[in-house]
Amino acid sequence: MIDIRETEKEFLLFVPAPQKDRARAIAGYRWNPNRRCWVYPKTPRVYDALLAEFREDLPEITVSRPAPDLDDVLPAGGDHQRLAIEVQALREQLAAREREAQTLRKSLREAEERAAMPADDHQRFIAFFRSLALEAAGGDRAFKQLSAQLATPDAFPRVALAAVELLLRNHLGLAEHSTTRLADVIAIARATGALSQEAADLAALLATLGTDTTAPRNAGAIWARALLALYIAALLWPELSQE
């Protein structure tokens, strides 16, 4: 619904967002985010322009044409002076918007800098955690090969799960292509003592990470899940590896 209201010094235009270009076509506008409306100086020229554009869309006209105060006080050439005043007001509005835009750009840059770790630091970070995981896994060569696949962190939980599942089935003497479900394999390992209760819980958590298709897609969550899968595999590896 389109509506025009007035205050002591301003006209307030309320229009649906798809029609904002019509509002911008009238000189002197500024958007007020708090009142969710377009604000104009209360002048006869703006009044005439608003009604010329929106008269047919208004259910009723509830604003009145302001008295031409400027025309009464300005000497000959008053139109020119009035336009100069309005142009100056527009320049001030543009300057204010540019300051707001600069503030927003600065905030965006700072947020990006906080969120984005430099590539060199990122690689050192991943290498550090890989080395800790390899140490936890007893320096096993096969685990080292597995950890190298962190290069694709979104796929790593599935890769780690597949590697641990293969070790677990071999550990229990089950065929690699046995039809026994992974959840049942973990339950067997828990019941027989092949895995401690803590290790079985870790295996179940890794199974969740490796099969969850609703995982978040942002980079931070992807890396967190990949590193969690890496450390679960590292803790299980000494119990399952036959080397």
Q: Say yes or no: 176 and 150 in one domain.
A: yes
Q: Pick from 66, 86, 114: which residue ends a domain?
A: 114
Q: At what angle do helices 156-172 and 219-240 cross, to 10 degrees?
A: 20
Where residue 52 falls among pLDDT bands split at 50, 70, 90?
very high
Least confident of 5-14, 106-115, 218-227: 106-115
Domain termination residue (choose one: 72, 95, 114): 114
Q: Check whether 181 has a pLDDT greater than 70.
A: yes
Last residue of a domain, one of 60, 83, 114: 114
The reply to whether 131 and 35 lie within a common domain is no
Provide CB contacts within 8 A for 180, sequence distance 6+. 174, 188
Domain match, 62 and 130 both: no
Same domain as 224, residue 209: yes
At residue 47 the predicted structure's pLDDT band, cuts being 50, 70 and 90, is: very high
> Are 93 and 35 in a shared domain?
yes
Q: Say how many domains are in the chain.
A: 2
Q: Please indicate, yes or no, whether residues 14 and 63 belong to a single structural domain of this protein.
A: yes
Residue 68 is which amino acid?
A: P
Answer yes or no: do 131 and 99 share one domain.
no
Q: What's at 97, amino acid-wise?
A: R
Q: Are residues 90 and 23 in the same domain?
A: yes
- Whether residues 123 and 209 fall in one domain: yes
| Amino acid sitting at position 82 | R
Kindly report, residue by residue over 116-172, the tens digit of the pLDDT.
555 567 788 888 888 999 999 888 999 999 999 988 888 999 999 999 999 998 888
As a whole number, mean pLDDT of residues 1-29 equals: 92
pLDDT at residue number 176: 64
Q: Which tokens in the block code for residue 105?
A: 């750009």
Q: pLDDT of 68-117, one tens digit each?
A: 754 444 455 556 777 888 888 888 888 888 888 888 888 777 766 665 55
- pLDDT at 65 > cutoff 50: yes
Which residues have CB under 8 Å from 55's CB, separation 6+?
Answer: 61
What is the residue type of 21? D
Domain that holds residue 85: 3-114
Residue 146 has which token pair? Answer: 């597995």
Tell me which DSSP letter residue 67 carries. P
Structure tokens at 172: 């229990």
Indicate if 91 and 40 belong to the same structural domain: yes
Mean pLDDT (the chain) is: 84
227 shares a domain with 130: yes
The pLDDT assigned to 98 comes to 82
Q: H helices within 60-192, ranges in order?
A: 69-73, 78-115, 119-136, 141-147, 156-172, 182-192
Instruction: Give residue 30's pLDDT.
Output: 92
Query: Two tokens at 162?
Result: 């597949």
Residues 192 and 135 in one domain: yes
Span 185-196, pLDDT tens digits: 899 988 988 888
